[in-house]
Amino acid sequence: MSPRSSRKTLREEQVFLVIAVIVGVYAGLSVVAFRVAIDWFRLRALGSSLAPSFPRVVLVPGAVGLVVALLVLRFFPAVRGSGVNQTKSALYIYDGYISFRTVAGKFLTSALAIGGGQSLGPEDPSLQIGAGLASALGRRLQLSRGRLRFIAPVGAAAGLAAAFNAPITAVLFVIEEVIGRWTAGVLGAVVLAAVSSVVTEQWFLGDEPLFRVPPYHLAHTSELLAYAVLGLLGGGVSLVFVKLIAVLRPRLRALPMWTWYLQPAVAGLLIGVAALRFPQVLGAGYESIDQAMHDQFGWRMLIALCVIKLLATTMSFVAGTPGGLFAPTLFMGAMLGGAVCAIERLVAPGVTGPIGAYALVGMGTMFAGTLRAPMTSVFMIVEVSRNYSIILPVMISNTIAYLVSRQLQHVGLFDLLARQDGTDLPSMEEEREAEIRSVEDAMRQPEPLTLFGEESLDQGMVRAEQVSTDLFLVKLAAGGWGTISRSELMAWQKSAKGAQLLNSYVVPIPKPYLYPDQSMDVALRVLHERPVAPVVHRADPERLVGMLALEDLLRLHHSQRDA
């Protein structure tokens, strides 16, 4: 790369980072406005009480469902669902394109739906709003196709960070679930966007954590068993949730088009009826999460809320109502965690910690089981609670929930939704789980015969006659390796140069050599320039551990395919 083109690349990267900051600021402002809009509409539609009065609670979610369905089907068809897959589609299918109309539609319809009591959350829509704003700005700046693709996830991180007031969570989620890889350029932009959006959001709404958690301490080491049980239960409930969506969504979408107008209304009506007894299921439910953390519900109520929220969210989501799954998932997790704690307290009161800790761990558990982003789920809990000491139970519980969910439901929720929608988006989870083959899987053992540079061609030929291979590695006197074929040996011998040393004829293989742990990608690049490459020990480059040629890679590939 010439210095000039290098300077140009550097400038491009710097510009991209500046754009990321601008995207973050606008995403932060949008999320603030989004939250205000949701609250504003909720107060007007449902009133200020946490338990709205009878006519409102039954009528409003249904009526709002009808209006939202009309808006979605007539004006904003791309805003159905949560927004995560739409952002992935922008990255992998539409070259980073998300229309501004989608942004406006998502803002409006999600605010109406969530504010009107549909059982959905604001985080995923915030993610899509951020992505859409970034896409619009990227198009206005006429970024290159590659940059434009990545600007949408950058905006997504900004939107999610502001919605959660948690930049690390947003960065991890976007890397883990949307982009799927860590590259310095993208990571820098994602981090900057997330940080600037959170700073903007905090500027207006303060830096209070999302949840106020009572101080946590592990009451007894045996309590970790209870957290393991919570992980199992969380995995199970996640599984039920995902299966319900997987089964019901395509069936409802298969119904005649005119029913699509009614589906969110019917969902809203049913949620309204449920809310007569359980008003906590309306909307995102953060107040109820706070109450669960502060021991305000008995174990029966906690279980009931978990089940009803699961059903309500399924209904809202499969009906095509715009809105997110993050908050309802956290809600269910908090209730489940609280229930486990409350029951444990009855069984073993002496070894039970505070309920807030269980609710918090439960949230991470459901997040890991449902959304299948295990890293994000751990850091999210630490970040939203600003409580590091909870990390051990969170890790245990989340891992178990993730494994249970993955074992019993191979395709994750977002991948499932994408397949139902007929798009083949890459599954980050599958990519993470795919077995990574390395050089050591493909390399062959070192040839039985290694020649030395100090040997003469005649001596080399004599030794070569003892084996049947055609290509020999030569260890050169000056260090390093070279190769010589049987035919070359014979040709030089015939031209009466048999007394000459191999050192003078063998061309050294240029470094770098391969190491056993290197990826196939690296091996391919190295083998592009030479027919065969020595595989050496990392601590001792003179020690040959194997040899690799292109046909070795092909052989491995074929064997994998056949398997």
Partner 1 sequence: MKFIGPLDRRFTIGIAIAATVPAFALTHLIVTRYRDQRQDLAVEWSRRGDRELERRPALAVTDFQTALSYGPERADDRLRLANALIAAKRPTEAKAQLLTLWGEEPGNGEVNLALARLSAGHGDVTDAVRYYHAAVDGAWETGAATARRRARLDLARLLMSHGQPIRAQAELIALIDDLPANARLITNVGQLLIDAGAPERAIGLFRRVLELDPTDAEAARLAGEVEYRAGDFEAANRDLQRASTRAALNGDARDMLDVSDRVLTLDPYAARLAARARAQRVLRALVIARARLVRCQGTPAHDAATDARIGTLQVRLDATGTLTPRALERDADLVDDALAVVFDVERLPPAACGGDSADDRALAIIAGPHPALTQ
Return d(Cα 14, Cα 185) in angstroms, integer: 9
Helices marked H in 75-183? 84-92, 100-115, 123-140, 145-164, 167-173
Q: How far is the CB of 188 from partner 1 (least distance, A)?
A: 17
Binding mask 330-369 vs partner 1 (x if CB under 8 A, - otherwise)? ------------------------xxx-------------
CB nearer partner 1, residue 213 or residue 520:
213
Return d(Cα 523, Cα 514) in angstroms, integer: 7
Select the residue interacting with partner 1 from 13, 290, 458, 488 (CB under 8 A). Answer: 290
222: contact with partner 1 by CB under 8 A: no
Q: Under rule CB under 8 A, how many of the chain's residues touch partner 1?
A: 41
Select the residue interacting with partner 1 from 13, 17, 29, 99 (CB under 8 A). Answer: 29
CB nearer partner 1, residue 355 or residue 404:
355
Please give the helix or strand (H or E) that residue 452 lies within, else none: strand 450-452
Window 174 to 213, contacts with partner 1 (CB under 8 A): 204-206, 208, 212-213
Select the residue interacting with partner 1 from 185, 214, 250, 446 (CB under 8 A). Answer: 214
Q: Tokens 């009480």 sit at which residue?
A: 49
26: contact with partner 1 by CB under 8 A: yes
Return d(Cα 343, Cα 362) in angstroms, integer: 14
Return d(Cα 188, Cα 174) in angstroms, integer: 13
- Where does this chain touch partner 1 (CB under 8 A) — which range of 45-53, 96-104, 257-265, 542-550? 45-53
Return d(Cα 460, Cα 454) in angstroms, integer: 10
- 217, 389 contact by CB (below 8 A): yes
CB nearer partner 1, residue 31 or residue 535:
31
251: contact with partner 1 by CB under 8 A: no
Select the residue interacting with partner 1 from 295, 421, 440, 441 (CB under 8 A). Answer: 295
- 430, 412 contact by CB (below 8 A): no
141: contact with partner 1 by CB under 8 A: yes
- Where does this chain touch partner 1 (CB under 8 A) — which range of 21-29, 123-131, 169-177, 318-326? 21-29
For 28, phi and psi rounded to 5 degrees? -60, -45
311: contact with partner 1 by CB under 8 A: no
45: contact with partner 1 by CB under 8 A: no
Q: Tokens 């070279």 sit at which residue?
A: 482
276: contact with partner 1 by CB under 8 A: no
For 474, phi and psi rounded to 5 degrees? -120, 125
**Strand, helix or coil for residue 317:** helix
Window 499 to 538, contacts with partner 1 (CB under 8 A): none
Question: In the structure encoding, which two tokens stand for residue 343, read together?
Answer: 């029951």
Cα 454 to Cα 149, 200, 402, 504, 505: the distances in Å are 56, 70, 59, 9, 11
DSSP conformation class of 448: S
Binding interface with partner 1 (CB under 8 A) = 15, 18-19, 22, 25-26, 29, 32-33, 36, 39-40, 43, 48-51, 137, 140-142, 144-145, 204-206, 208, 212-215, 287, 290-291, 293-296, 354-356
